[in-house]
Amino acid sequence: MHTGSATDQPPPAAATVQDESWRIRRTAADLERLGETESVFALSNGWVGWRGVLDEGAPCGMPGSYVNGFHERRELSYPEEGYAFPQASDTVISAPNAALIRLWVDDEPLDIRTGTLRGHERVLDLRAGVLRRQTEWISPGGRRVLLRSTRLVSLPRRPVAAVHYEVEPLDGPAELRVCSDLLANERVPERSEDPRAASVLTDPLTAEAHRTTGLDGVLVHRTERSGQRVAVAVSHLVDAPDTVTATSDGTPDRMRLTVAGRLHPGERLRLTKFAAYECAPVDGTPADELADLVVAEADAARADGFDALLADQRASLDAAWQVADVRLDGDRELQQAVRFAMFHLIQAGRPDGDRTISAKGLTGNGYDGHVLWDTETYVLPVLTYLAPAVARSALAWRHAHLPEARERAAELRLTGATFPWRTIGGRECSGYWPAGTAALHVNADIADAVLRYVAATDDKRFLAEAGLELLVETARLWHGFGHWSDTGTFHLHGVTGPDEYAALVNDNVFTNLMARRNLRGAADAAERHPDLAGRLGVGPAEIAGWRAAADAMFVPYDRERGVHQQSAGFTTQPEWDFANTDEDDYPLLLHFPYLELYRRQVVKQADLVLAMQLHPGEFTADEKARNLAYYEARTVRDSSLSAAPQAVLAAEVGHLDLAYDLFAESVSQDLADLGDKTADGLHLASLAGAWLALVQGFGGLRDDRGVLSFDPRLPRRIDRLAFSLRWRRHRLRVTLTSAEARYELPDAAHDAEVELWHHGERLRVTGAEPVTRPMPPVPDPGPEPSPPPGRRPTRRSAD
């Protein structure tokens, strides 16, 4: 039987060490860690996401076939109701899964838990953007077969994903049956007791339409409460001997193509499946039109062929890697981990979409698929310099949800806009208000991302269309929320900062400094665009009020101890009893009441240290060193968000070994599953934090003043560090060794120019030739800060 051509892919030749830094390879079934592997091998393009589940769908840790923003709503209940408590939350749900392809050999299903597994290898190719698999299996009845598959989610073609699958008998004829499924309402395992896990909704999709045409089909479903509709189409190519037949059938929740026949050694059955996904509001595109849309996309992908998808995927990644690749010489394992981190950031968002990036991206259902402040504070600063159009798209999504943020502010009796702590569709989804509603810094985090993006890109159009309004409405929140003391200082009381072990505090330094930047940024932007600001009702008096509040913002400082207070009074609270805290007691939130955590000096995640990272000009060098030492001794890193900012500050003050170990922890968070939570999806903020640790930490990049400055210093383990970033439409390439720093514009015309600072020296870098400068010696920083007992990152710097 031959219905079209398909790709014949021989096994790759032996890889070099350098090639292996571009591959994540697993050569064992590792049934105990299926969920982790599925997250690591997840593929996405910012719109569609497939978890790295085996082709046959079992065994499986957690299935997942996602469309960005597709979710269902569920009710929230409280033992005691309170005013403005959210009444519903949104949870990410799987769209119909088109990745499934099952195999039977002489009527025995391929299952790696049965029979004999002679070989099983899966490889995530970071350059090609595909997941490859090769399995040699002997069925319980003694039939030996070889299976190969290649899976991709297309970066250039938003709705499209595809898989090429081939099987052959090895030592005798066999009856083979391959079933290609499109399946809705897959069963998802129940959630754990960990509050960070996802809620599970049973059968969340209601069928609206299904049809089968020849070898192809389409399913259309809707949600009951969130008012969304999703359509998925599949189109097939089959290449097999004439003895093979193909039939298809469908039900409202499943479309199946069955290809079956007797094959002999040397013969192969090849199946290529092309899928297309789309979703829309129920009151938007009708079901039949949405079905026609995805059928056309799947058919077009089939017409172009799998080889064309592979070529386009490689071309897209070649362009992305030109900017995103980081060369780290001296540690092969971490070089691979850095490229893994950058790959998942590349595929997390889109430049042409109307969606943002959730905490797990499209790799799992952790945190219910919610968008948190992680996106603006960790992920977007990286994408602003590597893929600014993706950062712009994510900020445009925030702007699109300004109406909901204004409604929430009004409900809370606040001015301006109050963005949600956790959300999918723009409304607050967190029912725990001390670490949700009170964490108002998310509003300033969004403003900070706007200011950083505009400074790096000079995108005046974005500032006029969306950025200014975001800045204005968030500034109005702070101006109305804060209050003036009798001494003429401006205060923000009753907030929760990044450290979720300290809730409802007064004058959190991080929040106050971020609000100050927000107020000043809004004032500057409004003065630069008076006509646009006037349309938003902004006048000179309001601008003056913002500036006055920013200038008088209170920043608590403990003069007796010589350190800033994370929040007012923090340094006078009782210390945590680390001596009587066992290793099994971490994370503390699962073993101690919040009442105990809130009143003591114990820090879940970097808070004041993060403030120093984002606002380096607000602290002297001595203050940074003293603050780092004080808070390092109290930060338990129960959050994956801690290691990166700690690494940046440790590098800045000269503790390069500690910085390297913290960087290693951040970049290894998922490949090593350090928190045993990777099964729920990757920690995108931690992966982005690895880039920040390298580029801001060892590269010394600072950008808080709207100009680029570098104070690079390398730890012993790094022989050379090379990275690129985009600044004002140019690609700046930075190469660092222990002896010198090299700055160049490799793609620019000779007269192109970028101004930057290197260790306090002003430089002009042009397209004509690189500029090199020596690396000054690192001053002795003194004794290394001591983390809490048992909480030091794994010592890697001395390897």
Annotated binding site for substrate: 373-374, 604-605
Residue 759 near residue 776 (C-beta atoms within 8 A):
yes
- With H, G, I as helix, E, B as strand and everything else as coil, classify residue 117: strand
Beta strands in 488-576 (DSSP E): 490-491, 557-558, 563-564
Strands 144-153 and 160-169: antiparallel
| Phi (first) and psi of residue 649, to 5 degrees | -70, -35
Q: How far, in Å, CA of 296 to CA of 294, rounded?
A: 5
481-519: b or e for each residue (b if 16 or more CB lie within 10 Å)? bbeeeeeeebbbeebbbbbbbbbebbbbbbbbbbbbbbb
Cα angle value 331/336/338 (rounded, 5°) = 90
| Spatial distance between the Cα atoms of 743 and 736, rounded to a whole number of angstroms | 9
Give the bridge partners for 558, in sequence order.
563
Closest CA to 303 of 5, 2, 1: 5
CB 718, CB 328: distance < 8 Å: yes
Pairing of strands 753-758, 708-710: parallel
Cβ neighbours around 301 below 10 Å, total = 25
What whole-number distance in Å separates Cα of residue 710 and Cα of residue 765? 13
CB of 633 within 8 A of CB of 792?
Answer: no
461-467: which pairs have CB atoms within 8 A and are 24 or more residues apart? 462/392, 462/395, 462/396, 463/525, 463/529, 464/529, 464/532, 465/399, 466/395, 466/396, 466/399, 467/395, 467/399, 467/525
Neighbouring C-alpha atoms within 13 Å toward the C-beta of 94: 27
Q: What is the amino acid identity at position 289?
A: E
Helix (H) or strand (E) holding 444: helix 441-457
Cβ atoms of 570 and 502 closer than 8 Å: yes
* Burial class of residue 672 (count of CB atoms within 10 Å of its CB; 0-12, 13-18, 19+): middle
**φ, ψ dihedrals at 751, nearest 5°:** -90, 0
Tokens 């990410």 label which residue? Answer: 92
The annotation places the binding site at 373-374, 604-605
- Rounded CA-CA distance 341/687 in Å is 5
Query: From CA 531, how far away is CA 537, in angstroms rounded?
Result: 10
Contact 55, 165 (CB under 8 A): yes
Our separate counts of H helices and E strands in the chain read 21, 32
Provide CB contacts within 8 A for 544, sequence distance 6+.
none
Q: Which residues pair with 167 in a beta bridge?
A: 147, 269
Q: What is the 3-state secondary structure (H, E, C) of 577-630?
A: CHHHCCHHHCCHHHCCCHHHHHCCECECCCCHHHHHHHCHHHCCHHHHHHHHHH
Buried b (16+ CB within 10 A) or exposed e, 628-642: bbbbbbbbbbbbbbb
Which residues participate in catalysis according to the annotation? 500
734, 696 in Cβ contact below 8 A? no
